[in-house]
Chain A
């Protein structure tokens, strides 16, 4: 099974060869018919030789175009994998998570499709598995479990900050900061690292009364945040 385009390419190539051979043949024929001097034998030999040459060229071109695998159903690699970075994401402890969600939804809402409680990565691994297209890979499984319920929060590129505050390969736990960051010094100068700069609504929505691991020890402890971790709260152009 080939494409129409391949077929046309091959056929046209052969046809053009035939036309060239035909033109020479026609000229020879014309000379034969119109002239009394040209020896018939020589002209016919020339025509036959030229014809064979072009037929041979046509066969060679056939091979050139398609290398012989005209009808073969060339298998392609369908077990393609992700790069190692896909799984390099450490998803952190779920303890936090469970505490928040504890009284809100049943366990099986997240731990679905299984009798026993399993970790997400026990079932969700490589994405785009041909045999089961409905099972997302790990990254999408994670996102869809959350976004599936919290769709109102996820309505555009800037909504990623609800969870992400840094490079995605960093430790992630709920409300960890990821995404891009420009310059910490916009807010924090060398000497002045007072809480004031980052300690207001944006921090306090997460880091206030309820204890959370990692980010609780503001401002000196930047666990979970890399050096470019300002814009998780400070959206450029807004605040």
Chain B
């Protein structure tokens, strides 16, 4: 064994330094996100199902003209997904009949504070921007569709019909407009301001105030306050949310936490295994080594 204490200290010291470098990021930080982030609030009691938001979204994002026009009310006969196939819209308004009462709900990307899609993306194409919108970077997306597996709201849509430029389509909260200082298209189009737009923190307060001021009218729950760890798109309603087409099993844990533990184990294992396996190797080859040394000694004696 040629290893001296000095060598051990040198190597141990450098390793410890590296760990310290990365370790200081792990401190007890507050992960409440950018306090200036924007969000939207949907009040289902106000929505009259006019679909102006869908139309404005379609125009603003230059999406193809839909097969059924925006004034055609027969679309309410089925519960549509935000990415209506062949049309690729980013949002839809669905009609729900709950105990005789008609309720409309607008469905689109929830712009989660800790998005599952952004956690899933291996190239970081989906990112939570500091403005609050979850954006997609066309330049790096590889089309693996893990984001679609991860999203608890089944939102990202993929262009299966394109072989050369398949895009991930979803609401981007009119990110380009926001950067130019203009409010999102759906918020501007809504004639009754069933969609409210503003800073998420302010919207949350406004939503709670509305609920508190009208306790008979609203359910005491802001959907999106804690769901999926908090989302930037929130809903208040007078109807049970489970009847409005929200998926089950969304939970209130933020999604990165679900794989964080596994990822922590990964690096621990990677560092522990070499020494462990090296130890096994030495232990299991001891006999062979002894034999080799014996034969070497015999050869030396002979010569």
* Chain A residues proximal to chain B, CB less than 8 Å: 1-12, 14-16, 18-19, 21-23, 25-26, 29-30, 32-33, 36, 40, 44, 47-48, 51, 54-55, 58-59, 73-83, 86, 127-128, 130, 133-134, 136-137, 139-140, 143-144, 147, 154-160, 179-180
* Residue B251, interface by CB 8 Å: no
- Give Cα distance in the complex from A14 to B21, angstroms: 8
Query: Do residues B73 and A158 form an inter-chain contact, with CB atoms below 8 A?
Result: yes
Given A5-B256, A83-B182, A147-B192, is A78 in contact with B198 using a C-beta cutoff of 8 Å? yes
Which of these, B31, B128, B199, B229, contacts A78 with CB under 8 Å? Answer: B199
Which of these, A11, A21, A157, contacts B71 with CB under 8 Å? Answer: A157
* Residue B190, interface by CB 8 Å: yes
* Complex interface: chain A residues within 8 A of B25 (CB): 7, 10-11, 14
* Residue B10, interface by CB 8 Å: yes
- CB A112 to nearest CB in B, in angstroms, measures 16
* Residue B118, interface by CB 8 Å: yes
Closest partner residue, chain A, to B95 (CB atom):
A156
Of A11, A25, A36, A155, most buried by chain B (CB within 10 Å of CB) is A11
* Residue B248, interface by CB 8 Å: no
Given A25-B14, A78-B38, A140-B193, is A159 in contact with B48 using a C-beta cutoff of 8 Å? yes
- CB A145 to nearest CB in B, in angstroms, measures 11
Closest 10 CB pairs of A and B: A140-B193, A14-B22, A133-B206, A4-B31, A76-B36, A128-B197, A80-B183, A143-B191, A15-B267, A18-B18
Given A4-B254, A19-B271, A25-B11, is A36 in contact with B18 using a C-beta cutoff of 8 Å? no
Query: Do residues B257 and A130 form an inter-chain contact, with CB atoms below 8 A?
Result: no
Given A4-B114, A80-B182, is A33 in contact with B22 using a C-beta cutoff of 8 Å? no
Extra inter-chain contacts (11) besides given A40-B7, A80-B181, A134-B206, CB under 8 Å: A1-B34, A2-B31, A3-B34, A15-B22, A18-B18, A29-B11, A77-B178, A78-B38, A81-B182, A86-B188, A156-B73
- CB B248 to nearest CB in A, in angstroms, measures 24
Which of these, A5, A58, A76, contacts B131 with CB under 8 Å? Answer: A76
* Complex interface: chain B residues within 8 A of A143 (CB): 191-192
Given A25-B11, A157-B49, A159-B48, is A4 in contact with B256 using a C-beta cutoff of 8 Å? yes
What are 15 A-B contacts with C-beta separation under 8 Å?
A3-B33, A3-B113, A8-B256, A10-B25, A15-B22, A29-B3, A40-B7, A77-B179, A127-B187, A127-B193, A133-B202, A137-B193, A140-B193, A155-B48, A157-B48
Which of these, B130, B267, B274, contacts A76 with CB under 8 Å? Answer: B130
Given A55-B18, A80-B182, A127-B187, is A3 in contact with B128 using a C-beta cutoff of 8 Å? yes
* Complex interface: chain B residues within 8 A of A33 (CB): 1-3
Q: In B144-169, which residues have CB < 8 Å from any A CB?
A: none
- CB B35 to nearest CB in A, in angstroms, measures 6
Which of these, B22, B198, B257, contacts A11 with CB under 8 Å? Answer: B22
Closest partner residue, chain A, to B203 (CB atom):
A133
Interface band, chain B? 35 or more
* Complex interface: chain A residues within 8 A of B22 (CB): 11, 14-15, 18, 58
* Complex interface: chain A residues within 8 A of B193 (CB): 127-128, 136-137, 139-140, 144
- CB A72 to nearest CB in B, in angstroms, measures 10
* Residue B243, interface by CB 8 Å: no
Closest partner residue, chain A, to B75 (CB atom):
A157
* Chain B residues proximal to chain A, CB less than 8 Å: 1-3, 7, 10-11, 14-15, 17-19, 21-22, 25-26, 29-38, 48-51, 69-71, 73, 76, 95, 102, 113-115, 118-119, 124, 128, 130-132, 178-179, 181-183, 187-188, 190-193, 196-199, 202-203, 206, 209, 229, 254, 256-257, 260, 263, 267, 270-271, 274-275, 278
- Give Cα distance in the complex from A134 to B190, angstroms: 16
- Give Cα distance in the complex from A4 to B278, angstroms: 36
Query: Do residues A82 and B30 form an inter-chain contact, with CB atoms below 8 A?
Result: no
Mostly, the A contact residues are helix
Query: Do residues A75 and B124 form an inter-chain contact, with CB atoms below 8 A?
Result: no
* Complex interface: chain A residues within 8 A of B70 (CB): 180
Closest partner residue, chain A, to B205 (CB atom):
A133
* Complex interface: chain B residues within 8 A of A79 (CB): 181
Query: Do residues A128 and B191 form an inter-chain contact, with CB atoms below 8 A?
Result: no
Which of these, B10, B50, B115, B274, contacts A157 with CB under 8 Å? Answer: B50
- CB A14 to nearest CB in B, in angstroms, measures 4
Query: Do residues B38 and A58 form an inter-chain contact, with CB atoms below 8 A?
Result: no
Query: Do residues A130 and B50 form an inter-chain contact, with CB atoms below 8 A?
Result: no
Which of these, B30, B69, B187, contacts A180 with CB under 8 Å? Answer: B69
- Give Cα distance in the complex from A159 to B71, angstroms: 11
Which of these, A26, A139, A155, contacts B191 with CB under 8 Å? Answer: A139
* Complex interface: chain B residues within 8 A of A154 (CB): 48
* Complex interface: chain B residues within 8 A of A30 (CB): 278
- Give Cα distance in the complex from A161 to B257, angstroms: 49
* Complex interface: chain B residues within 8 A of A75 (CB): 36
